[in-house]
A and B are shown apart, each in its own frame.
Chain A
Amino acid sequence: MTSLTRRTLLKTGAGAALAATLPMPALLAAEPIKIGVVQPFSGGLELFGGQAKIGLDLAAAEINAAGGILGRNVELIYEDDKTDPKTAVERTTSLIRRDKVIAVSGPITSNNRDAMMPTLSRAKVPLLYATNYEGGGCDRYLFSFNTVPNQELEKLLPIMKDQAGSSFYLFGADYVWPQKMFETATTIIGGIGGTVAGKEFTPFGVKDFAPVIRRIQDSGAKVLVFALPGADGITFIRQAEELGLLKTVKVAFLGFGELYLGAFGAGKAQDMWVALPFTQAIQTDAAKEFVAKVRKQSGADTPVSQYVFTHYVSLIAAKAAFEKSGAIDSEALVNGLEGIVVDSPTGKVTVGKDHHVTLEMFTAKTEGDGMVVVDDLGQIAPKSGCA
């Protein structure tokens, strides 16, 4: 216990006097709506974290320029989860406790999301998750703004069958997303009269894929459904090209996007297919305008992938949800989001009662140095696995 001296008395007194002269109610009214963002800005997936940030920054800038939400500005508080679940939980806890955020946006990986969810659920703070994932994340405080397996696969696989043949080989990384993707894929392939010639997984960090590539060649498969993200996926495709596999199979590269462009070398890895909710190659006016807005803010060379788009949409939906509820707190956000429909650069996005979104989907393929859109698949509803 320190005794009260004249000096401290003077200080506190002066402080109190100064504070009293400030217009307190005005300060309170201008207090921003804090939304925490837990994304990887280091540790391996920084490209994805960077794309998420671009989308969120753009949405926040637009919202604030238009007068904020119910008169209050949005403030994004960024935290780096280092692509690591333990760090993700620590950052989430500090955002909730110290920063008193109303909602959290992020992360990228399922590992990190699963690690963060109990903390968020307990604190009753909603998570706005905008990465395509395996489905089955059912929680009052979890909202998914990207696709689940059926949305990517149910139209893509029949197209692949028509294009290349009815024999499919499934190859991906050995973790939950590829496993669940392939479960859904197997069901769909069975339903369209195709066959699964083989299904296998690989650990991360493998540098020589020759054994797998030979096995796929020997299987006689016509379509490779491929779910090995990141650098390992690039290594596989480069070796598949070198060993001649890409001449005999057509690749459906799940999760492909702008972030991979340029990683294969000029003129390589052509005609790989993907179904996705957004690509910078969409030629509609609204999509082109969105890409232009992003590049105006983040630089002319910025790749604008689906992750920019989905994170942007998640914040726009949050604004609409607050306005629908007429209040700004976590419960108002959750209640407001359920069933809400918002306009996006590709068409309407509907948040279902199961907290997953119905949105416009597109098929695209690699061509030249970039991607081209093949078809607009229309609105596809999620089979989230939640009642």
Chain B
Amino acid sequence: MERLAIVLLDSSNAVLVLMLVSLGLAIIFGLMNVINMAHGEFLMLGCYALLALTEAGLPFFLALALAPFIVAGIGLVAEELLIRRTYARLLDTILATWGLSLFLRQGMVLLYGPGSHAVAVPDVGSVDLFGTPYPVYRLIVMAISIVTIIATFYVFFRTRFGLAARAVIANRTMASCLGIDTRRLDRITFAFGSGLAGLAGAAMAPLISIDPNAGLGWMVPAFLSILVGGLGTISGPLAGAAGVGAVDSLTAAFTSPVWAQLVVFTAAILVIRLFPNGLVSRAKREA
């Protein structure tokens, strides 16, 4: 029983982390129609931003709070220089952002070398949960993820910006006709999505190897979450992430990581076959 509780806790941790990773991707993909192949690299930049800030002597949690803004800034520059030139050409966004991902990865090789770096886990100790000492930092990461998800929902459903953003998702041309500055919205949205990736990277940095390829492992599960969950909403990818993360983590817990990968892909194929629009699909009005 206690064993099961710990497994479920580990699994929730995996799910919440994947949700945090998928959230930024979902916003950029859903809102802007940009298939962002560089999302993993923004995550990797979050790790390095945390590394740079802690090495500069900042306390860990201050660095963690600042890192997303640095990555959002880089996202803003990327949007201005590259991404905005590819809007309305879905396939070109793949090529452009893939190029961007190579650029960022190689840039980090030049700056920090190809080797691994480490940021120490902040000294927050562990608490006894279900008879097992559980690292507090993992609980903090889970809390960060929950707060971020709630904040994102708040922004999109309770603010003027969110209203305009959802109008653009529903019908970009009409929103533009009604006087919504879609250019400004695109800029903010891309920076926001990049910042979320940066936050995910920074939060995970103490638990993984920080290297130029750190973002790669997240990309497949994140895209899978979006495909499974469905496009055009924020709740869809989150439901997808919950499904992908839980199936992966629980299968790994009860069998092995090799089986976990097989089961996740098989389940994803089934879901996409049975629900082509995803688990949570937006009610579409007939044109």
Contact = CB atoms under 8 A, between A and B. Distances in A.
Interface string A193-217: 0000000111101111011101100
B99 interface: no
B53 interface: no
A337 to B, nearest CB: 32
B59 interface: no
B3 A238 contact: no
Contact of B14 (A44, A210, A214, A262): A210
Given A200-B256, A211-B253, A218-B3, A239 B207 contact: yes
B10 A242 contact: no
Contacts of B117: 262-263
Given A44-B213, A202-B257, A203-B261, A259 B115 contact: yes
B115 A263 contact: yes
Contacts of B175: none
Contacts of A260: 116
Given A206-B217, A212-B252, A265-B121, 20 more contacts: A44-B213, A46-B109, A46-B114, A201-B256, A201-B258, A205-B217, A206-B257, A207-B204, A207-B208, A207-B217, A208-B249, A211-B249, A211-B260, A231-B208, A231-B209, A234-B208, A242-B138, A262-B116, A262-B117, A266-B120
A266 B54 CA distance: 14
27 contacts: A46-B109, A201-B258, A203-B258, A206-B217, A207-B217, A208-B10, A210-B14, A211-B257, A212-B252, A212-B256, A212-B257, A214-B6, A231-B208, A231-B209, A231-B211, A231-B214, A234-B118, A238-B208, A239-B207, A242-B135, A242-B138, A243-B135, A265-B118, A265-B119, A265-B121, A266-B120, A268-B118
Interface residues of A, number: 35
B106 to A, nearest CB: 8
Interface of B: 3, 6-7, 10, 13-14, 17, 109, 114-121, 126, 133, 135, 137-138, 204, 206-209, 211, 213-214, 216-218, 220, 249, 252-253, 256-258, 260-261
Contacts of B214: 231
Interface of A: 44, 46-47, 174, 200-203, 205-208, 210-212, 214-215, 218, 231-232, 234-235, 238-239, 242-244, 259-260, 262-266, 268
A208 B258 contact: no
DSSP class of B's interface residues: helix, strand, loop or mixed?
Answer: helix
B121 A47 contact: no
B131 to A, nearest CB: 12
B267 to A, nearest CB: 16
Contact of B220 (A205, A208, A215, A242): A205
A235 B118 contact: no
A234 B209 CA distance: 6
